A = this chain, B = another copy of it.
Amino acid sequence: MIDPLPRLPNVGADERLRRQMDFLVEMDHLKTILRAVFIEGGTRRENDAEHSWHVALMASTLAEYSDRKIDVDRVVRMLLVHDLVEIDAGDVMIYDEAARREQHALELVAAERIFNLLPADQAAELRGLWDEFEALESAESLYAKALDRLQPLLLNCLSRGTVWREHGVTAAQVRRINSSIADASPRLWDFASGLIDDAVTRGWLPE
């Protein structure tokens, strides 16, 4: 059993580099925050770090389907940090609507602590990206949020709706909560709707 160091040894870096390194080491914790969905193969649940990578890869691959003109690189930067607050606040399943209402307050406290681990200029930049993602006003944030919804939908289909069945989720809930995909991309929403209809037909999602 490893008894890990709590932080990197002090090797004489200046304050700025030290803070950046401590931030990067602390962000490693995102790999331990588990989500409801299963990875391919159904062997285990996904964690937030993997999810962040996957959805960032989706952003560039599917960029042509955004209904608005977007800066894809900004979307990628947003998605790489969109779940960092869950290091403190934890992940709440999107269909647990009661818990989600309380979650935002927890995430605001988490954002204050986590982004401020960085030097002030970088803290402001990352906080700006996260606030933009949460506000859902810019074209980039609408597209990023659509992918953040689409990615678990794909994985839930692959695992034959296991997570939906575990939580008694209905097709009406899945359509309503994922309809933000339509705001960003009618084309991707067509695809997602097809998957939801298919899941109903297969008996994974009651209407």
Contact = CB atoms under 8 A, between A and B. Distances in A.
Task: Determine the interface band of chain A, counting residues with CB < 8 A from chain B.
Answer: 35 or more
Nearest to A46: B31
B56 A56 contact: yes
Given A4-B41, A53-B56, A61-B122, 6 more contacts: A20-B62, A27-B57, A28-B155, A29-B40, A31-B40, A60-B80
A116 interface: no
A187 B17 contact: yes
A58 interface: yes
B77 A54 contact: no
Identical chains bound together, number: 2
Given A2-B42, A42-B1, A62-B20, A54 B32 contact: no
B31 A39 contact: yes
Contacts of A17: 65, 187, 191
Contacts of A28: 39-40, 54, 155, 158
A112 interface: no
A198 B9 contact: yes
A169 interface: no
B40 A158 contact: no
A193 B74 CA distance: 33
A46 to B, nearest CB: 7
A46 B50 CA distance: 11
Nearest to A61: B20
Contacts of A56: 53, 56, 80
A46 B190 CA distance: 36
